[in-house]
Copies of this chain bind each other. A is one copy, B any other.
């Protein structure tokens, strides 16, 4: 199997597509930019969802569901928002088909034209704030801490499975608050929640920061972001949390009576992560043999393969191992398929990124051991059957940590403090983050993008620890004054 995938050094982009395909994560459909998420890919997404959903609920959020379709006019209510989304909307104009009078098949029934066109939600701020107007009268109704898991659609021209698709799955939180402080705090709390999840569970190290005005969400006053670095040196925005100020409250006239019986506009946040995280997961850890999954997200954490095939003695030993693993909440699969040889199975589970493989043959049994192979380093060891579950439990933790540390080492080594334009260009060309001074203008930002294809990724919330505290400086391009360094990179 492995020979069927392109190596990273040969063609990183094709390598990614090969893994998506061969590991059974997604495949194309006949609808442009709308791939099918296959069962194995979806099982990973379900694990992501379950963990995040628990974190949202632990922080007081509840789920709800708002309509897929949004009246076209809603989009125009918030000026920046319409600017950001109108150009990539799928528009519903009719509500019926009819038999084609001239040929086989069906055509759009011209009599079934909608009075007002509906758009498929690219994000739900507008329909949600139109609803919140009815839900919020008094400070007693606040805060509203609501999340929804949903599909959204943005008509992207160039798409890539998981990373950029027309339809994608996500969660979008939409909260309403009585004060600016509370809303700002919510937006930052969610940023930390996202960062903790991505680092602890997905084993992806992040820089947390604020987006520049140019890169902000359409309608936000502050956009916080978590930024990861993929193996090819390109950054990937992995989640965003927005402080929306009173923009949507103004646009949809959402007011409340405060404790002093005075009318005020409501403060808002919104925040989301999507199936894009799947793309980050794949690109962060995988190798030329296939997918590599952090144990905390692997649908199957351990696979057991009999060598060359199962027999009663092996079955009995495996049964004991499985019982011991399951009692530790470790998911395990025993592959007794007789139609496939061990070598084929090994390659298949490597392709699928199963973190630990146990192989057991007659001779192993005679020696009271099994061969344990870890996916991340491909090390193999003979481990005594006695106590093997404890060993594997620790090994899974070690793999989780190793993946994170490996990625962090790469990220840190690929983050460069630069003070000259030449160095800046070199870093960007090579791939990685350039940590540089910038004069704070959109003009300079766009010029840098034009010259190097690098964009501002974020203004870090704290100075990067590896470089220590630093003060003001001079813009890398214009030489003008700069208050602090920010992170640049080419990005997905």
A residues at B contact (CB < 8 Å): 27, 29-31, 34-39, 41-43, 45-46, 62-76, 82, 86-99, 104-106, 108, 117-120, 127, 130-131, 134, 140, 146, 150-151, 153, 155, 167, 169, 339
Tell me whether A36 and B65 are in contact (CB under 8 A): yes
Decide if the interface of chain A is mainly helix, strand, loop or mixed.
Answer: mixed
CB distance from A32 to the nearest CB of B (A): 9
Tell me whether A67 and B140 are in contact (CB under 8 A): no
Q: A27-B131, A43-B62, A105-B73 known; A68 and B153 CB under 8 Å?
A: yes
26 residue pairs A–B, Cβ–Cβ below 8 Å: A27-B131, A29-B66, A29-B127, A30-B74, A30-B127, A31-B67, A31-B71, A31-B118, A34-B68, A34-B69, A36-B66, A37-B64, A39-B62, A67-B167, A68-B120, A69-B167, A75-B97, A86-B99, A87-B97, A87-B98, A89-B96, A90-B95, A91-B93, A91-B96, A95-B155, A150-B151
Complex Cα distance A88/B109, Å? 11
Chain B residues within 8 Å of A46, by CB: 63
Chain B residues within 8 Å of A42, by CB: 62-65
Complex Cα distance A70/B69, Å? 16
Beyond the given A30-B130, A45-B65, A91-B93, please list 19 additional residue pairs across the A-B interface where CB-CB is below 8 A. Answer: A30-B71, A30-B74, A31-B67, A34-B67, A37-B64, A39-B62, A39-B63, A41-B64, A68-B68, A68-B120, A68-B151, A72-B97, A72-B106, A87-B98, A88-B96, A89-B97, A91-B96, A92-B92, A108-B117
Complex Cα distance A131/B24, Å? 13
